[in-house]
């Protein structure tokens, strides 16, 4: 047994090894950055403008029935990674239908949108690639950039000219332009036609995370790529989550067949991850078929967002102009934003609260998500609650 002298003694007893976590928690608490988990009741009486269920499909009987039938037939889990035992006929069916819906050659389903983004960024780049990534991109794209063995240029937000300049100046033979389709904080859409033109002009690939566009933008919810006329392009790849409009769970990469083949054979977050659970595959298929049968749901989600924004602006609040289903409303500061969201909840309205450091521009806001199934009366109630509980200065926040 090793005897430690004073000089070699361990600095901390085993029980104290994680003391630093308490100190870090204390620092976060003092900075107002504590995050807490709150469990949601199955039948929540609160009016929900905080979830990402844009089309109101999460509880749709056809979606929940499809999930239950898939679990009964295929089991509670997928049993393994996609390349071993985790691919069922249902996974293949979903991939064929998603590719057909989005107008691309092929689709590959992942266990989440997060792993789909990691896969696309790491497998489609190498040290000879420049990644040009919008400064406001989602954390999963940022993490994909960090994992990729490529140089990354963080382009100013929504600036296709800066993207074109970075592509033109690059030393690398390859490049990928990476953008959210709809930015999750403010709900503004990427300038896809210009980005696509810049990518084409400089022989770069285009990777678009359509998490907030699929099911909402374009005719019948085909997504931003279809709306911008770049779906199905030979150098365009889209990713999406199945957890927002499609009311399920999981992610997908959509694009040319050779891209999908490359991901199957090389993407670590595909190969070393258990396949999506059958219930989630079934729910996503059920939701996709509903969307195809009822394409007006997409337009209704956009209309609800526009109405919310118009009514809040008319009441003097600083609401964003929504391109899809997300509306943000400016708050005077982080504490006011927190208090406003808490007051809304006490009044029966759930809203999101975004504040530094999780906002790219340091501005605090409430984030509202429109849902296609909201009634006009619910929209009125939400607006009245937000206006009644608004902090002083919410109309002039900077």
Q: Closest distance between ligand PLP and the C-beta of residue 7, in Å?
A: 49
Q: Closest distance between ligand PLP and the C-beta of residue 58, in Å?
A: 14
Q: Which of 54, 74, 101, 114 binds ligand PLP (CB under 6 A)?
A: 114
> Taking contact as CB under 6 A, which single stretch among the options 53-61, 111-119, 222-230, 257-265 is the one that binds ligand PLP?
111-119
How far is 73 from 69, CA to CA, in rounded Å? 6
Query: Rounded to whole angstroms, what are the CA distances from 114 to 103, 147, 226, 251, 272?
Result: 22, 13, 22, 7, 14
How far is 100 from 104, CA to CA, in rounded Å? 6
- The reply to whether 136 sits near ligand PLP by the rule CB under 6 A is no
How far is 350 from 159, CA to CA, in rounded Å? 33
Q: Closest distance between ligand PLP and the C-beta of residue 108, in Å?
A: 14
Q: Closest distance between ligand PLP and the C-beta of residue 189, in Å?
A: 12
How far is 186 from 136, CA to CA, in rounded Å? 10
Q: Which is nearer to ligand PLP, 117 or 245 (CB)?
A: 117
- The reply to whether 112 sits near ligand PLP by the rule CB under 6 A is yes
Closest residue to ligand PLP, based on beta-carbon distance: 113
Q: Which is nearer to ligand PLP, 51 or 172 (CB)?
A: 51
Q: Which is nearer to ligand PLP, 138 or 302 (CB)?
A: 138
Q: Closest distance between ligand PLP and the C-beta of residue 235, in Å?
A: 21
Q: Closest distance between ligand PLP and the C-beta of residue 107, in Å?
A: 15
Q: Which is nearer to ligand PLP, 112 or 385 (CB)?
A: 112
Q: Which is nearer to ligand PLP, 19 or 361 (CB)?
A: 361
- The reply to whether 88 sits near ligand PLP by the rule CB under 6 A is no
Tokens of 190: 């990427």
Q: Which is nearer to ligand PLP, 209 or 336 (CB)?
A: 209
- The reply to whether 334 sits near ligand PLP by the rule CB under 6 A is no
How far is 196 from 204, CA to CA, in rounded Å? 9
**Are 257 and 105 a contacting pair, CB within 8 Å?**
yes
- Residues 202-221 binding ligand PLP (CB under 6 A) are 209, 211-212
How far is 122 from 53, CA to CA, in rounded Å? 29
Q: Closest distance between ligand PLP and the C-beta of residue 114, in Å?
A: 3
CB burial of 240-267 (b: ≥16 within 10 Å; e: otherwise) equals bbbbbbbbbbbbbbbbbeebbebbbeeb
**Are 305 and 325 a contacting pair, CB within 8 Å?**
yes
β-bridge mates for residue 199, sequence order: none
Tokens of 210: 């359509």
Binding mask 157-196 for ligand PLP (x = CB under 6 A): -----------------------x---x------------
**Are 103 and 226 a contacting pair, CB within 8 Å?**
yes
Return the SS3 of 311. helix
**Are 353 and 344 a contacting pair, CB within 8 Å?**
no
Binding mask 235-274 for ligand PLP (x = CB under 6 A): ------x-x-------x-----------------------
Residues in contact with ligand PLP by the rule CB under 6 A:
112-114, 117, 138, 140, 180, 184, 209, 211-212, 241, 243, 251
């Amino acid at each position: 047994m090793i005897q430690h002298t004073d000089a070699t003694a361990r600095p901390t007893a085993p029980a104290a090894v994680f003391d630093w976590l308490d100190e870090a928690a204390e620092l976060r608490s003092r900075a107002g950055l504590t995050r807490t988990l709150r469990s949601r009741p199955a039948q929540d009486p609160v009016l929900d403008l905080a979830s990402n269920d844009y089309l109101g499909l999460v509880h749709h009987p056809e979606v929940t029935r499809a999930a239950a039938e898939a679990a009964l037939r295929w089991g509670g889990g997928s049993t393994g990674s996609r390349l071993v035992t985790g691919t069922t006929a249902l996974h293949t069916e979903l991939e064929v239908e998603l590719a057909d819906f989005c107008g691309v050659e092929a689709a590959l389903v992942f266990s989440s949108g997060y792993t789909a983004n990691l896969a696309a960024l790491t497998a489609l780049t190498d040290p000879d690639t420049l990644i040009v990534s919008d400064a406001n991109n989602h954390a999963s794209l940022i993490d994909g950039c960090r994992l990729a063995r490529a140089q990354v240029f963080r382009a100013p937000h929504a600036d296709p000219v800066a993207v074109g300049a970075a592509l033109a100046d690059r030393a690398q033979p390859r490049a990928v332009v990476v953008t959210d389709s709809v930015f999750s904080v403010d709900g503004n859409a990427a300038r896809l036609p210009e980005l696509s033109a810049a990518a084409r002009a400089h022989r770069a690939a285009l990777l678009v995370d359509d998490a907030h566009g699929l099911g909402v933008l374009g005719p019948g919810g085909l997504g931003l790529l279809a709306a911008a006329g770049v779906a199905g392009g030979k150098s365009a790849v889209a990713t999406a989550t199945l957890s927002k409009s499609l009311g399920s769970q999981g992610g997908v990469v959509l694009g040319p067949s050779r891209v999908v083949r490359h991901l199957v054979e090389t993407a670590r977050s595909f190969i070393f991850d258990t396949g999506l659970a059958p219930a989630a595959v079934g729910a996503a298929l059920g939701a996709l078929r509903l969307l195809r049968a009822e394409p007006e749901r997409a337009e209704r989600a956009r209309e609800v967002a526009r109405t919310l924004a118009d009514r809040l602006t008319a009441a003097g609040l600083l609401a964003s102009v929504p391109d899809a289903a997300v509306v943000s409303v400016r708050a005077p500061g982080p504490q006011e934003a927190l208090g406003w969201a808490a007051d809304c909840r006490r009044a029966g309205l759930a809203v999101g609260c975004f504040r530094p450091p999780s906002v790219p521009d340091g501005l605090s806001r409430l984030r509202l998500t429109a849902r296609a199934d909201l009634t006009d009366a619910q929209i009125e109630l939400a607006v009245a609650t937000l206006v009644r509980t608004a902090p002083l200065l919410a109309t002039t926040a900077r």
